[in-house]
């Protein structure tokens, strides 16, 4: 094994890395990135990589965008910080709120800013509890999420997330959080069951959970249009159409988590539009600033706002918010990002590039190691399996997905393995040539993983 560099040793002894095997990290050390340009990043040894996951699904306009740097610099020089507490405000927050209300795929009376997607979804939980207390429904507090859904890692948003590592030994989920079934047809469809029938069964399962819990106790349902960290899971046709009807039937608030899918990722401005969802509120973050500055937001419908007014009269204040809520630099960068999306027709660009992206993605399905490919727009995943015919997964202890991820990195493409699926989510500005280069590098890594799997005899049941 190559000796660790000085910077790697310093990292190991000082930094805690999220979603990292901390024990293994002591042996391997970090990939230290030093600069980025467009869809590429360079490490501390000068090697280049295509950033195939846009950082963490977020660097939508790529790296070193001069307009965003200038927007941040201009605001830093004018008003680097102020807050929104105690009736204070500033132009960037006001203008960004107006713009988000205009763009939102659902009725939005007001906008409440946060610093991240985790905080946005955490705020959604708090607001729903607050709202139902305000209107005299103190029992209507349960929030239904989905197995494999990802909504963050705070105590409340981590509880919404339906992934075991986020819960295990953290004493999560907290009370009033429930998880319904995951609408992944490839993994959970029954023998002989059509996708339409599977969608119906998933919707019926949600309805039965609502009935079992008691509709008068269920406040909300939260869902990503396409599940991101859970595996880039695209629900079957008609799934959300059926879910919409159930939520409306039982007066259950619908929260759309647009943190990954929003701002053009799926080929429409909102993933909500692509998947046919009818939410009451959305949570956004990530691509709202192309990840250059931390910022998130929640849209507030009028009835929730009126309840917040009533509570403020009763209590004397609205007791929620963050030091950096509506940070002026974050808001200024977000405004420039939204301007670029519109001016450069980023959604149209995604629609044009998506054909090549999805064609190359689905071509990976021809490889003997790949069981399923799935995606929309410029997001997708390829799932590795031990047996394509039976869909049998590899024994988790073999770490096939992790091995593939490391080989992708060695071949100059930064992706992310979600168990044994490898996810693709490049910056939205990626060109057709860069899409092909990204998949060429990933294909080499998949073939090398296949050779390793065969050599180690990992397909044995």
- For residue 1, the model assigns a pLDDT of 63
Q: Check residue 20 and report its DSSP letter.
A: S
Same domain, 211 and 336: yes
Where a domain ends, among 343, 366, 393? 343
Same domain, 155 and 197: yes
- For residue 3, the model assigns a pLDDT of 84
Where a domain ends, among 282, 312, 343? 343
Per the domain annotation, does 18 fall within a domain?
A: no
Same domain, 337 and 351: no
Per the domain annotation, does 146 fall within a domain?
A: yes
- For residue 347, the model assigns a pLDDT of 98
Spans of the chain, pLDDT less than 50:
none
Per the domain annotation, does 35 fall within a domain?
A: yes
> Using one digit for the tens of pLDDT, what is the confidence trace for 277-336?
999 999 999 999 999 999 999 999 999 999 999 999 999 999 999 999 999 999 999 999
CATH number at residue 137: 3.40.640.10
Per the domain annotation, does 19 fall within a domain?
A: no
> Using one digit for the tens of pLDDT, what is the confidence trace for 332-385?
999 999 999 999 999 999 999 999 999 999 999 999 999 999 999 999 999 999
Same domain, 377 and 318: no
Torsion sign, CA atoms 230, 234, 236, 238: positive
Q: Check residue 13 and report its DSSP letter.
A: T
Per the domain annotation, does 8 fall within a domain?
A: no
Same domain, 267 and 124: yes
Kindly write down the DSSP assignment for every residue of 86-149, as one continuous string. Answer: GG---HHHHHHHHHHHHH-SS--SEEEEESSHHHHHHHHHHHHHHHHHHTT-TT--EEEEETT-
In terms of residue numbers, what domain contains 133? 67-343
CATH number at residue 367: 3.90.1150.10
Per the domain annotation, does 10 fall within a domain?
A: no
- For residue 433, the model assigns a pLDDT of 98
Overall domain count for the chain: 2
Task: Give the C-alpha separation, 402 to 445, whole Å.
Answer: 12
């Amino acid at each position: 094994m190559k000796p660790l560099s000085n910077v790697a040793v310093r990292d190991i002894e000082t930094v805690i890395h999220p979603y990292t095997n901390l024990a293994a990290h002591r042996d391997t050390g970090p990939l230290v990135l030093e600069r980025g340009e467009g869809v590429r990043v360079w490490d501390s040894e000068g090697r280049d990589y295509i950033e195939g996951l846009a950082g963490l699904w977020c660097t939508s306009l790529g790296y070193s965008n001069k307009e965003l740097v200038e927007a941040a610099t201009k605001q830093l020089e004018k008003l680097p910080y102020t807050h929104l507490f105690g009736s204070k405000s500033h132009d960037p927050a006001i203008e960004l709120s107006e713009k988000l209300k205009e763009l939102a795929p659902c009725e939005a009376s007001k906008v409440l800013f946060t610093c991240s997607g985790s905080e946005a979804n955490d705020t959604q939980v708090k607001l729903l509890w607050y709202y139902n207390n305000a209107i005299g429904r103190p029992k209507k507090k349960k929030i239904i999420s989905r197995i494999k859904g990802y909504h963050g890692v705070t105590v409340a948003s981590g509880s919404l997330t339906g992934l075991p590592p986020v819960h295990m030994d953290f004493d999560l989920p907290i009370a009033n959080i429930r998880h319904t079934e995951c609408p992944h047809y490839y993994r959970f469809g029954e023998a002989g069951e059509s996708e339409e029938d599977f969608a119906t069964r998933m919707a019926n399962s949600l309805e039965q959970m609502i009935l079992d819990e008691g509709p008068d106790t269920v406040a909300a349902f939260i869902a990503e249009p396409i599940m991101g960290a859970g595996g880039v899971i695209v629900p079957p046709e008609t799934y959300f159409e059926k879910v919409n009807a159930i939520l409306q039937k039982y007066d259950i608030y619908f929260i759309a988590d647009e943190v990954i899918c929003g701002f053009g990722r799926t080929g429409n401005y909102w993933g909500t539009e692509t998947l046919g969802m009818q939410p009451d509120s959305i949570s956004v973050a990530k691509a709202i600033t192309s990840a250059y500055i931390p910022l998130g937001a929640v849209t507030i419908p009028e009835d929730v706002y009126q309840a917040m007014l009533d509570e403020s009269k009763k209590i004397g204040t609205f007791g929620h918010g963050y030091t950096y809520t509506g940070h002026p630099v974050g808001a200024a960068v977000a405004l420039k990002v939204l301007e670029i999306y519109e001016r450069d027709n980023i959604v149209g660009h995604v629609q044009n590039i998506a054909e090549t992206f999805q064609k190359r993605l689905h071509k990976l399905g021809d490889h003997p190691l790949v069981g399923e490919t799935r995606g929309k727009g410029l997001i997708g995943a390829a799932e590795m399996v031990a047996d394509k015919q039976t869909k049998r997964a590899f024994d988790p202890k073999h770490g096939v997905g992790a091995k593939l991820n490391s080989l992708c990195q060695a071949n100059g493409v930064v992706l992310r393995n979600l168990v044994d699926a490898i996810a693709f989510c490049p910056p939205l500005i990626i060109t057709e040539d860069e899409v092909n280069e990204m998949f060429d590098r990933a294909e080499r890594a998949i073939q090398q993983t296949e050779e390793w799997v065969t050599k180690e005899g990992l397909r044995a049941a």
